[in-house]
Amino acid sequence: MSIEIPPGLTELLQGYTVEVLRHRPSDLLGFAAEYFARLRDARDQEAAGGGRRVVSFDGEPMQTESNGEEEPDRGDEDSDSDFEPPVVNRYNRRVSVCAEAFNPDEEEEDTEQRVVHPKTDEQRCRLQEACKDILLFKNLDQEQLSQVLDAMFERKVKPQEHVIDQGDDGDNFYVIERGLYDIVVAKDNQSRCVGRYDNHGSFGELALMYNTPRAATIVATTEGALWGLDRVTFRRIILKNNAKKRKTYELFIESVPLLKSLEASERMKIVDVIGEKVYQDGERIISQGDKADCFYIVESGEVKILIKSKTMTSKEANQEVEIARCHRGQYFGELALVTNKPRAASAYAVGEVKCLVMDVQAFERLLGPCMDIMKRNITHYEEQLVAMFGSSMDLLDPGN
- Please check whether residue 81 is in contact with residue 215, taking contact to mean a CB–CB distance below 8 angstroms: yes
Q: Is the pLDDT of residue 227 over 90?
A: yes
**DSSP H helix total and E strand total for the chain:** 12, 16
Provide the pLDDT for residue 122. 94
**DSSP assignment letter at 38:** H
pLDDT at 149: 94
pLDDT at 353 over 60: yes
pLDDT of residue 34: 83
Instruction: Give the per-residue pLDDT at 53.
Output: 42
Average pLDDT, integer, range 123-141:
87
pLDDT given for residue 376 in this prediction = 65
Amino acid making up residue 242: N
335 CB-side CA count, 13 A: 24
Q: Determine the 3-state secondary structure of 395 from DSSP.
A: helix
Tell me how crowded residue 272 is: count the other CB atoms within 10 A of its CB.
22
- What are 155's strand-pairing partners? 226
Amino acid type, 320: E
- Non-local CB neighbours of 44 within 8 Å, separated by 6+ positions: none
**Residue 117 DSSP label:** -
The helix or strand, by DSSP H or E, that contains position 82, with its residue range, turns out to be none
Burial class (CB in 10 A: 0-12, 13-18, 19+), 174: buried
User: In the chain, which ranges are E strands?
Assistant: 54-57, 60-63, 153-157, 162-164, 172-178, 180-187, 190-198, 202-203, 217-220, 224-230, 275-279, 284-286, 294-307, 321-326, 331-332, 346-359
How many other CB atoms sit within 10 Å of the CB of residue 294?
A: 21
Whether the per-residue pLDDT at 388 is higher than 60: the answer is no
pLDDT at 333: 87
Res 106: pLDDT:
54
Query: Tens digit of pLDDT for each residue in 66-111?
Result: 333 333 343 444 434 344 333 333 333 333 443 354 555 554 555 6
Predicted local distance difference test score (pLDDT) of residue 110: 57
User: So what's the pLDDT on residue 55?
Assistant: 44
For 286-309, write each residue's pLDDT tens digit.
Answer: 999 898 888 899 999 999 999 886
**Distance between CA atoms of residues 39 and 33, nearest Å:** 10
Determine which helix (DSSP H) or strand (DSSP E) holds 388, and give its type and residue range. Answer: helix 371-389
Q: Which SS3 state, helix, strand or coil, does residue 369 take?
A: helix
Assessment of whether the complete model's pTM goes beyond 0.75: no
Computed over every residue of the chain, the mean pLDDT equals: 76
> Rounded distance, CA 316 to CA 324, Å?
19
Task: List, in order, residues 6 or more apart from 120 with CB less than 8 Å away.
Answer: none
Whether 155 contacts 226, CB under 8 Å: yes
DSSP label at residue 31: H
pLDDT at 189 over 60: yes
33, 75, 95 from 41: Cα distances, Å: 12, 21, 23
Res. 205: pLDDT tops 60: yes
Confidence of residue 177 (pLDDT cuts 50, 70, 90): very high
Please, which residues have CB within 8 angstroms of residue 194's CB and are 6 or more apart in sequence?
83, 84, 183, 184, 185, 216
Mean local confidence (pLDDT), 231-260: 81
- Residue 379 to residues 169, 372, 373, 395, 396, Cα–Cα distance (Å): 43, 12, 11, 10, 11
Q: How many whole angstroms from its chain centre is CA 76? A: 21
Give the confidence band of 316 by pLDDT, cuts at 50, 70, 90: low
pLDDT at 20: 73
**CA diameter of the chain:** 92
Spatial separation of the C-alpha atoms in residues 45 and 48, rounded to whole Å = 5
Alpha-carbon span 286 to 279, nearest angstrom: 11
Q: How many alpha carbons lie under 13 Å from residue 45 in its C-beta half-sphere?
A: 12
Please, are residues 385 and 391 in contact by the beta-carbon 8 Å criterion?
Answer: yes
99 secondary structure, DSSP code:
G
- Among 361, 46, 375, smallest CA distance to 194 is for 361
pLDDT at residue 256, rounded to an integer: 85
Q: Could you tell me the CA-to-CA distances from 302 to 251, 308, 332, 338, 350 in Å, in that order?
A: 20, 20, 12, 23, 5
